[in-house]
Structures are given as C-alpha cells and as structure tokens.
Amino acid sequence: MFNAVIDSLNLREIKLSGRKFTWANNLPVQTSEKLDRVLACTDFESKYTHTTVQALSREILDHTPLLFNTNDLSTTYQPQFKFELGWLLRDGFCEMVSEVWQNTVAIGSPIERWQVKIKRLRQYLRGWAKHVSGTYKKEKENLLNKLDELDKKAEVSPLSENELDFKHVLNERLAELLREEELKWYQRAKVKHLLEGDANTKYYHLLANGRHRKTRIFQLEDGNNIISGDAQLKEYITCYYKNLFGSSEEPLIDLDESQREDIPQVSDLENELLTAPFSEEEEVRAAIF
C-alpha cells in the first residue's frame, strides 16, 4: 500500500550523498539498513533542480540525520562550456560559426592559432546562447498563448480556414522549439534510449538532475581537516593538482651527458629525419589519407 501511494503521487527519491545506509544497531556484528529517504514529486524537482540530500554524522543515534537542501550552486561555480546539439537545428548556425572562425585573426604556430580561434568561438557562442535562450523562452511563451487563445475560441465557434492554417504554423514552430529543448536535456542525461519509444523531455531533465547530485563533491577530507563549500573546495583542489603536477623547485633527476656508451645512438640520416621540419604531405596526408 505504501508503494502504491508513492506511485500514485508520482514521487521520486532524491539520491543520498555521503553514505549508503541511514540506520545501524550497536551490536558487535553491526546490521545496517536504509530506512530514511527523501521523496519529492517531479514538479518540485523540476523547480528546484539542484536539490540535494546529505547524510550527517550519526553520533550516538541509531538513525542518521539527513540534510535536505534546495539551494542552487553558489556564484563561485563556473560551469564548463557545452556545445548544444540543438544549436545545429537552427538556420544559419554553421555559417555563423564559419564566419566567426574566419574573422578571428591569430598568429603563431598552428596549435597556437587553433587555441586562439577556439577560445574566441567559445566566447562568442556563450554570449549568443545566452541571448538565444532568452529569445527562445519569450517565443515559446508567445506561441503557447496564441495556441491557447485559438483553442478557447474553437470551443465557442468553429475556426476559419485562415485561423486553422495559422494554428498549424504555430504548432509546427512549437514542435521545432520543443525538439531543441528535448535534445538539450537528452545530451545532459547521457542516456541512449527513449521511454517506450516516446520523446519525454521531463524524463531527461530529471535524469540530468539526478546525475548532478550523484557526481557533485560536497566535502573532502585532508587528514583531520574537512574541506567544504564551493569556494574552499575549488581552492583546495586547484592547489592539490598544482603541487601534484607542477614543476618542483629542485630537479629530482640528475643527468650525466658524458655517459653515452650504453645508450644506442641514432645515425646521421636518422637524426636528419627526426629534426626535419613538419610537412603537411608527410605528417598529415601520408598518415590520414
């Protein structure tokens, strides 16, 4: 009966972070169970997309307290640039990308020119996408309002031929916008199937929210210290990998260039091939074509 109520209310469990179980007894051979859960309806999860549930310290209790948080990410969080598949559905998108790429002036080696051009393109697409997102929402709302007006009118009197044609045009445009929105959440959910063959944007939306909660780092342990908070975590992780991969002050390896007897030497001909400048014919065409 309890499961039937959960299904009837269309509730989903918010994934728990921090531990697998929420209850344990104090016997020598401990028994652990997951007795405490947080359930939410899909409308709530859609409104509060960054909702999280964290397990706190159990201390002397047998139940683990759960912290339910609906706050969005802090302003210190900078999402990575993501190329949206839905952009390819927009007329003139490829031409726009080509124009930005060609108009970006870059000097230096090929890889340096590539880095400058791709950085400029990312910057341009960020601003373009932000503008398009606002326009998309306004257009979608406008289409829905017009279709709603026509539906209400059709309940009172038959629509004229022009109104029917207009409604058909509105529905086609709305389908295009919804298809782009569906691709956006499909890409974020990272799943490769559709439920029973149906296109379901909300399904992908909820999967993406669950995936975000599963992969987010809430805190790290450094010895006896606990690092938490987006700003502190970002600073700690950055310093950790700088120390891990950065150059050390003193070299750890000392090479004696005079010891060459046990090292095979390249011939003069091999040396010429190794030090020869790169060429498009040998390095690209011969390798790829």
Each domain of the chain, given as residue ranges in start order, spans 2-77, 85-205
159 Cβ contact list (under 8 Å, min separation 6): 150, 153, 167
Query: Model confidence at 97, in pLDDT bands (50, 70, 90)?
Result: very high
**Are 7 and 42 spatial neighbours (Cβ–Cβ below 8 Å)?**
no
Tell me the C-alpha distance between 41 and 13, whole Å.
9
C-alpha Rg value of the chain to the nearest Å: 29
Residue for token digits 């697998």?
20
Q: State residue 48's pLDDT score.
A: 82
pLDDT tens by residue, 25-35: 767 677 888 88
Q: What percent of the chain has pLDDT over 70?
A: 83
The residues, ordered by sequence, that sit 6+ positions from 200 with a Cβ below 8 Å of its Cβ are 194
What's residue 194's pLDDT? 47
pLDDT bracket for residue 75 (50, 70, 90) = very low
Q: What is the mean pLDDT of residues 136-141?
A: 82
pLDDT, greater one: 77 or 58: 58
Determine the average pLDDT of the residues in 171-184. Answer: 81
Phi and psi torsions of 226, nearest 5° = -110, 120
Inter-residue contact 85 to 93 (CB < 8 Å): no
Cα dihedral across residues 230, 234, 236, 241: positive or negative: positive
What the block records as the tokens of 148 is: 């709603």
